[in-house]
Structure 1
Amino acid sequence: MSDTSSQQLVVFSLGSEEYALPIGSVHEIIRFSEPRSVASDVPWIRGVIGLRGKIIPIYDLASRIGIDAGDAEFGKIVIVETGTGQAGVVVGDVEEVLTVTAEQLEAVPSADLQTIESIAKIGDRLVILLNPEGLFAGSGVDELAAA
Structure 2
Amino acid sequence: MKTFAIVMVILVVALAGVMGYALFNTALVVEGKGMQVLSASQRMEDFEALREDIERGTVEGALFDATVPMNAADYNFYVYTLRLKNNCLVPAEMVEVQLSPGGQDVLCYDEKTLVTIAPGESRDVWCVLLTRGTPSAVRELTVTYYLWGNAQTVKYTYE
TM-score under structure 1 length normalisation: 0.26
Higher normalized helix content (fraction of residues): 2
Between Structure 1 and Structure 2, whose CA radius of gyration is higher? 2
- If asked which structure has higher relative contact order (CA below 8 Å, sep 6+), I would say 1
